[in-house]
Amino acid sequence: MNKKRVHLSLYIIIPSIFTGIEIIAIIVTYQLTSYYLKRDIEPLLEMIWLGIATSMLTFFCNFMILRMIMNPIYKFVKTAEKYPIITQATMNSDVTTVTENIDHVQRVLDQVTTVLGKMEASELFPEIIGQSRTMRGIFGQIIKVAPTDATVLIMGESGTGKELIATSLYEHSLRNSKPFIKINCVAIPEGLLESELFGHEKGAFTGAVAQKKGKFEMADGGTIFLDEIGDMPQATQAKLLRVLQEKEFERVGGAQQIRVDVRFITATNKNLPEMIKAGEFREDLYYRLNVFALTLPPLRERREDIPFLIDHFLEKSKNELAISSRAMQVLLGYNWPGNIRELKNVTERAAVFAEKTIEPSHFPAALTGGTSIWSEGKGGDGDRTLDERLEEIERGMIIEAINRAGGVQARAAQMLCINPRSLWHRIKKYGIDVSTLKKLQNM
């Protein structure tokens, strides 16, 4: 016969224990007081001893409960600190033992959570390069909405990877064994878009020599991805709204109602609410599409992902290339209006010019603020003055020292044999992002 187990929360057990101790103390106090008062005896000494006994019992219960709860945590933290990736994040702590400071425990647990989150991101989304907290948040939303049939609207600047996100939504959905049809609304001429989406009957228009199935029919049972939905003509928007509402449509030139079971994913780099105000996009269609919205961050808001993206792009290069710390700082400091697409373009072109190590001179002048191999058409330093070259060397030395010091500026100043205030002025002068360098140290 199986025994039933009753699980009680610690939030109930612990308060119940101390409430019980308090009730017992009250009852014993009352009984002792009544006993001694009936005999005209002052119970002061007995009350003192009772108070001491109650305090000791309370302390003992507290100690045992905390030990029961905290011991597994301390053991876990000590084990976790043996791994280099965790030790690196906590090595600057002044705490000698875990029990001396609960903040140290919190830092280790936070780091473990971050590492596990990155591992999960790499495991579940191998095609998407991104381990920043922002991207892990996006991955969490994908996992939640992918198994549903909810319509998803992906928003973000051009080049942020909206198509990759749409593909991940499909791959983690329950329809991943069914068709996944992609269509770019801006790449198809306006006159042909309806035929592409809905299909057409023979003779529907000049050149329609045979019946053709549209993308919606091809995606039946699966998923359709409509990219650049903001560029869809308004006449087509009205017909798309009907498909979303009724799950049926007619081919161009046809009269037969065709029903489909399709999950919709759409994407745009435009501000649809502003387009609605300008009368360029249907409001009712917007609310049908915006059931679940995913907003992708621009690359400038997830700079900690840049080194991983660069490594990914360089892996495709025929030559084994490294990137210097100065070059990395240039890439981290740029705002990337073209986002990941622009970073890929810059990295791949730099890889063509570089022999072993990518340097700032291999980047376009827009990134470095000066001349480059791209603009000169040859190697070398171009027309830079001696002061400019010395500044570049000094900037590189500062970045290297900060990296070696683990982001601690005082230690970096010692390595460079200058005072911390002088280092701070130079960091400000060259626009060096110390916080980003620190994050890279913990990756």
Please give the mean pLDDT across all residues of the chain: 79
Pairwise CA distance, residues 145 & 131, whole Å? 20
User: Could you tell me which residue, 179 or 204, shows the higher pLDDT?
Assistant: 179
- For residues 296-315, give the mean pLDDT: 89
Q: Is the pLDDT of residue 285 over 90?
A: yes
Q: Is the pLDDT of residue 438 over 90?
A: no
CB 272, CB 286: distance < 8 Å: yes
- For residues 351-367, give the mean pLDDT: 83
Using the structure block, give the residue that is written with the tokens 């070696």: 404
Burial class (CB in 10 A: 0-12, 13-18, 19+), 37: exposed
- For residues 259-284, give the mean pLDDT: 94
Q: Is the pLDDT of residue 108 over 70?
A: no
Q: Is the pLDDT of residue 80 over 70?
A: no
Taking only the tens place, the pLDDT of each residue in 409-427 is 888 888 888 888 888 888 8
Cα 231–Cα 167–Cα 310 angle in degrees, nearest 5: 95
The least confident of 206-220, 261-275, 375-389 is 375-389
Length, in residues, of the chain:
443
Residues near 10 by Cβ (< 8 Å), separated by ≥ 6?
69
Q: Residue 92: its pLDDT value, please?
A: 46
User: Could you tell me which residue, 7 or 343, shows the higher pLDDT?
Assistant: 343
Q: Residue 379: its pLDDT value, please?
A: 44
Q: Residue 117: its pLDDT value, please?
A: 56
Q: Is the pLDDT of residue 284 over 60?
A: yes
Q: Is the pLDDT of residue 323 over 80?
A: yes
Measuring CA to CA, how many Å separate 16 from each of 5, 13, 19, 21, 53?
19, 5, 5, 9, 19
Burial class (CB in 10 A: 0-12, 13-18, 19+), 317: middle
The count of other CB atoms within 10 Å of the CB of residue 167 is: 18
CB 36, CB 43: distance < 8 Å: yes
Taking only the tens place, the pLDDT of each residue in 206-228 is 666 677 888 999 999 999 999 99
Q: In what order do the strands lie in the sheet with 180-184?
A: 180-184, 223-227, 263-268, 152-155, 292-295
Q: Is the pLDDT of residue 181 over 90?
A: yes
User: Could you tell me which residue, 91 or 395, shows the higher pLDDT?
Assistant: 395
Q: Residue 89: its pLDDT value, please?
A: 45
